[in-house]
Amino acid sequence: MIKIVTVIGARPQFIKAAAISRAIRSKYSDKITEVLVHTGQHYDPNMSSVFFEELDIPAPDYNLEISGGTHGAMTGKMLESIENVLLAEKPDWVLIYGDTNSTLAAALAAAKLHIPIAHVEAGLRSFNMNMPEEVNRIVADRLSRKTFCPTQSAVENLYNEGIRSGVHLVGDVMYDVSLYYRDIARHKSNALERLGLEDGHYVLATCHRAENTDSVRRLTSVVQGLADLASQIPVVLPLHPRTRKKIEDLNLITDLSNITVVEPLPFLDMIRLEQSARVIVTDSGGVQKEAFFYEVPCVTMRDETEWTETVELGLNVLVGADRNLIAKSLSRKRSDGKLPQPYGNGNASEAILEEMLRAP
């Protein structure tokens, strides 16, 4: 029996952890004990507790309730608290996901205690060091004993950085999740009816990346582009609390008057809206992939993406924060249903756990 301490803190990590936690409980309960640590980075109920309920993730064994503040302050507090958990639990592995401050803090805490680290979604690169996520993922990969890559390009990124040992191409756990919840969301969510939307006749938009929200020029252009788009087709915008505050501070909230602005959505509602959207407009890495999984055209409001396959295969386009290009999102066409699947075959969770059961 091995003990894994899993550290998560943000919405995308809850989704990824759901797949592996489910596999542990259903197939590996006699071999693996999981201790779940929630840092509290996303604390709003719509971005935290509701995900645990809908995704059937066990209640966290530890909730550190750390959120807000600067990147350094948040990471420092997490580092101290996670270290205390690891000293108490003495795990065989620390399992981390993605590229958040929670990821970085857990990697640093484990490395300093000489506990082996396994990094899920390793090897992704935007090659933009101004992104805090890029710094976090590079450090996490460098400190990890096992790096679990979702794509071949992620493997190649690690090799190019000299990381050759412990690199495993396993596929994407988010693809596992999308397959599992695709039909469940269609049956259980009434989001379309509740919001008065018709299948295929609306745009779903999200915006939360610091590169957009922390720039007056970019955020203004994004808001105006979405408003222009909403003059052509209904636009639904689940608004991240941080983004809402930035928009209000810039007096841009009236520009959203023709957009259906809602609170961050529960997971099943979000999946339901993604599947039936005419186009998805986002700056989220996770939403880009979900759009690809459901073969919905995606317009990404960034200058680069770590999910290069979605662009190379033609279902995603990068438009930066260009108002005119955002407004032209409806020109994007749906897939013909013949897309290759670069993100595995839906069993990434089992591949990861099988590897972790081997000697570190």
Which residues touch 234 (CB under 8 Å, ≥6 apart)? Answer: 197, 201, 202, 203, 260
Judged on CB neighbours under 10 Å (0-12, 13-18, 19+), 219 is buried
How far apart are the C-alpha atoms of 117 and 230, rounded to whole Å? 45
The residue assigned the tokens 């990381």 is: 163
CA distances from 70 to 66, 73, 74 (A): 12, 5, 6
Active site residues: 208
Which residues touch 278 (CB under 8 Å, ≥6 apart)? Answer: 200, 201, 202, 203, 233, 296, 297, 330
Counting other chains too, the contacts that 60-69 makes at CB distance below 8 Å and 24 or more residues apart are: 60/36, 61/35, 61/36, 61/37, 62/35, 62/36, 62/37, 62/38, 63/38, 64/37, 64/38, 64/39, 64/40, 65/40, 66/9, 66/39, 66/40, 66/41, 67/39, 67/40, 67/41, 67/42, 67/43
- C-alpha dihedral, 226 to 246 to 265 to 148, nearest 10°: 100
